[in-house]
């Protein structure tokens, strides 16, 4: 099962999507978007392009977009779950197979390359941790 085409079909009609749009132009921090060009869960790259376009139209010039054309849906968090980022499919016993896209190698490369960039982004853009009073 791939869900990308469903999202593309449903989001083609702006009258249906307008009520669900998040006003990203009001986010006061720079954004870091990470996408896989072969994402089969949803069209992450076109969604990211829409976000960045709306933000640029409102003067936000410091956002960053890392796009990995051969990667699928799981392109980040290389140390989070043992099966990620190489996972490209999920098949619960007796159920359907979900195809997240990409290849194990492309997903792993995207995670490895984006991880230090993500950490640097957080170090630069998050406020310092609160000091303990103890």
Residues 67, 45: contact at Cβ < 8 Å?
yes
Q: What is the DSSP letter of 93?
A: T
Residue 102: closest CA among 56, 35, 13, 53: 35
Domain 4-8+24-123 indexed as CATH 3.30.70.270:
no
Q: What is the DSSP letter of 66?
A: E
d(CA 95, CA 93): 5
Residue-level pLDDT at 51: 95
Cβ of 115: how many Cβ atoms within 10 Å? 16
Grouped pLDDT means (10 residues each) for the chain, 134 residues: 81 83 92 94 92 96 95 74 58 73 87 91 86 70
């Amino acid at each position: 099962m791939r869900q990308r085409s469903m999202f593309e079909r449903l989001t083609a009609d702006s009258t249906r999507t307008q009520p669900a749009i998040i006003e990203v132009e009001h986010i006061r921090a720079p954004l870091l978007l990470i996408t896989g060009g072969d994402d089969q869960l949803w069209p992450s790259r076109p969604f990211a392009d829409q976000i960045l376009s709306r933000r640029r139209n409102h003067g936000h010039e410091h956002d960053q977009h890392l796009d990995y054309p051969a990667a699928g849906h799981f392109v980040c968090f290389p140390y989070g779950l043992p099966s990620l980022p190489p996972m490209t499919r999920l098949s619960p016993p007796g159920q359907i197979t979900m195809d997240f896209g990409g290849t194990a190698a492309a997903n792993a490369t995207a995670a490895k390359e984006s991880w230090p960039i993500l950490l640097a982004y957080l170090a630069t853009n998050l406020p310092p941790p609160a000091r303990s009073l103890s």
